[in-house]
Amino acid sequence: MISVLVVDDDFYVARINAHYVSGIPGFRVAGIAHSAATALETVKRGGIDLILLDQHLPNESGLSVTRRLRGLDLDVDIVMVTADRRPTSVRAARRAGVLHYLVKPFTCESLRERLESYARMRSAFDDTAEMDQHAVDRSLSGLPAPEAGRNLPKGFSERTAGLVARVVEEHGAGRQLTAQEVSELTRISRSTAQRYLKFLADNGRLRLTLKYGTSGRPEHLYSQA
């Protein structure tokens, strides 16, 4: 099992991300931290293979945490999760040794693809033997990010899909949402919300329930899968 430390200053987002990680085979959540100091102390104690690291933390950035970890020569890998889309930030993260840079908001599927990519890379390493060129190439081939939107139909946006999924997860706890409610929460049209909700339900990311009333036409209700 690959042990993951989830680091995010938002308690609710951290819990959601931990839920995502725990649903991916081969991964387990070893801890949750809401500050740079807690994250560093947790890693120093050992037992962490991968950090899902937010960029914006109290008193210190995720990039700063990454550099400090590299300075301590700790054997831990990092996937950055952030709303920071600036090219300078992406380049700085790459130079600091971040394996993946996942832009918020993202779907569970986007995270799954990157973690599975990471798992393939790890499995290619064998400490008991030297690696030939084929083994080196195979190990590094797991690192590239998936092609943007490759699992989405034409006309669909990964960003909008992530927003809709996240709204249902954040506001649908313990209840089900209609397309109209999702439309109001996301500020997209009802028809667009309905298209994305149907797509996410068809792909197993959300659960669809039909509620039959007196009109004969069922109401579509959506909740976490």
pLDDT one-digit tens code per residue, 32-67? 999 999 999 999 999 999 999 998 898 889 999 999
pLDDT value at residue 224: 77
pLDDT value at residue 216: 63
**How many angstroms from the chain centroid is the CA of residue 55?**
13
Instruction: Report the CATH architecture of 2-140.
Output: 3-Layer(aba) Sandwich (3.40)
Provide the percentage of residues in the chain whose pLDDT is more than 90: 32
Domain coordinates of the chain in residue numbers? Answer: 2-140, 158-224
pLDDT value at residue 165: 85
pLDDT band per the 50, 70, 90 thresholds, residue 149: very low
Which two three-digit tokens encode residue 143?
């690192």
Sheet (strand 100-103) strand order: 27-33, 2-7, 50-54, 77-82, 100-103
Name residue, tokens 């890379």: 121
Q: How many helices (H) and strands (E) does the chain have?
A: 9, 9
- The DSSP string of 38-100 is HHHHHHHTS---EEEEESEETTEEHHHHHHHHHHTT---EEEEEES---HHHHHHHHHHT-SE
Statement: residue 143 has pLDDT above 70: no
Q: Are 28 and 1 in contact (CB under 8 A)?
A: yes
175-213 pLDDT, tens digit per residue, is 789 999 999 999 999 999 999 998 888 777 788 888 876
Phi-psi region of 36 (alpha: psi -120 to 50; beta: other; left: phi over 0): alpha
Instruction: Report the CATH architecture of 158-224.
Output: Orthogonal Bundle (1.10)
Q: Are 49 and 99 in contact (CB under 8 A)?
A: no
